């Protein structure tokens, strides 16, 4: 879009039809650059002006494309490093690397993973199908048909509730394997308080407002009592379906 504006003086960023066509051809170019060093982007009649129709044509090399997406690859590897830290593992502790998703066919991603783990990723499994294969295995485990496989799923983010001072009080930390449950007892913050709002949160931030709201409801019918006396039991229960 930037190159076209520079050449033709026309900004395509607000043309929804043009953007859709560019998106489709960009996806095609991305796939081609996983196996070739250069590809052509050719979109005839992308737009028009007083002088007539305009066509978008340019060549894109793999090196140019990799430079455009470099920051996203770096973010991806940082997420991998963060996951390893949370699991208290080093790259050398990983026995095998399975790439997931068609995007991982991109040579730059494969190189980044190889450099991080100092080993080649497993390319024998179709990266487009691996998620479906995993879901089928998990279904077999839940159904009791795949007894020889143990697959432990975990919560991607912490779960908790909002407490006094708008604080996020975590009951189930992230990366907790499930099924699991956690019970914690809370109380009222004021004398003669007859109801409380239970605000369920997902996230790691210390303040409630900075996390995602999963739900909220009012618990009423609390007997009149001094603050701190009523016992309110909150139970989080995650089954095998998450």
Cα separation, 134 vs 136, in Å, equals 5
Cα separation, 239 vs 19, in Å, equals 43
**pLDDT mean over 117-141:** 88
Q: Among 77, 55, 240, 63, which residue's Cα sits nearest to residue 151? A: 240
pLDDT digits (tens, 9 = 90+) for 59-114: 999 999 999 999 999 999 999 999 899 888 999 999 999 999 888 999 999 999 99
pLDDT of residue 109: 94
- The answer to whether residue 152 scores a pLDDT higher than 80 is no
Helices and strands in the chain, H and E counts? 6, 10
3-state secondary structure of 198: strand
pLDDT of residue 124: 87
- The answer to whether residue 242 scores a pLDDT higher than 80 is no
- Token code pair at residue 71: 């920051």
Phi, psi (5° rounding) for residue 80?
-65, -45
- Cis omega before residue 143 (within 30°)? no
DSSP class per residue in 103-120: GGGSHHHHHHHHHHHTSP
Confidence of residue 210 (pLDDT cuts 50, 70, 90): very high
- The answer to whether residue 148 scores a pLDDT higher than 80 is no
pLDDT of residue 149: 74
Strand partners, 54: 47
Confidence of residue 188 (pLDDT cuts 50, 70, 90): very high
Show Cβ contacts of residue 47 under 8 Å, excluding neighbours closer than 6 positions: 10, 12, 15, 18, 53, 54
- Token code pair at residue 9: 């003086």
pLDDT of residue 86: 86
Q: Among 180, 33, 102, which residue's Cα sits nearest to residue 172? A: 180
**pLDDT mean over 150-170:** 91
- The secondary element (H helix, E strand) that includes residue 202 is strand 195-202
Phi, psi (5° rounding) for residue 81?
-65, -40
Kindly state the percentage of the chain with pLDDT values over 90. Answer: 67
| Domains of the chain, CATH where assigned | 2-68 (3.90.640.10), 70-142 (3.30.420.40), 159-238 (2.60.34.10)
pLDDT of residue 3: 84
Q: Is the distance from CB of 64 to CB of 46 less than 8 angstroms?
A: no
Q: Among 194, 201, 192, which residue's Cα sits nearest to residue 219? A: 194
Residue 47 CB neighbour total at 10 angstroms: 18
Q: Is the distance from CB of 177 to CB of 189 less than 8 angstroms?
A: no
pLDDT digits (tens, 9 = 90+) for 15-63: 899 999 999 999 999 999 999 999 999 999 989 888 889 888 989 999 9
- The answer to whether residue 191 scores a pLDDT higher than 90 is yes
């Amino acid at each position: 879009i930037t190159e076209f504006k520079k050449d033709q003086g026309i900004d395509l960023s607000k043309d929804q039809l043009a953007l859709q066509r560019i998106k489709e051809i960009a996806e095609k170019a991305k796939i081609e650059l996983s196996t070739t060093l250069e590809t052509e982007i050719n979109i005839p009649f992308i737009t028009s002006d007083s002088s007539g129709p305009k066509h978008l044509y340019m060549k894109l090399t793999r090196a140019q494309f990799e430079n455009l997406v470099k920051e996203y690859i770096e973010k991806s590897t940082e997420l991998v490093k963060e996951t390893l830290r949370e699991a208290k593992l080093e790259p050398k502790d990983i026995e095998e690397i399975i790439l997931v998703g068609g995007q991982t066919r991109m040579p730059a991603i494969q190189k980044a993973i190889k450099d991080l783990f100092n080993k080649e990723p497993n390319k024998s499994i179709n990266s487009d199908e691996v998620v479906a294969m995993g879901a089928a295995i998990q279904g077999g485990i839940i159904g009791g048909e795949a007894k020889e496989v143990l697959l432990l799923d975990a919560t991607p983010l912490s779960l908790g509730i909002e407490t006094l001072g708008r604080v996020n009080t975590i009951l189930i930390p992230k990366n907790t394997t499930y099924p699991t449950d956690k019970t914690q007892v809370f109380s009222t913050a004021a004398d003669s308080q007859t109801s409380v709002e239970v605000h369920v949160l997902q996230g790691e931030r210390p303040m409630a407002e900075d996390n995602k709201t999963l739900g909220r409801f009012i618990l009423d019918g609390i007997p009149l009592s001094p603050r701190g006396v009523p016992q309110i039991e909150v139970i989080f229960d995650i089954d095998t379906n998450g």
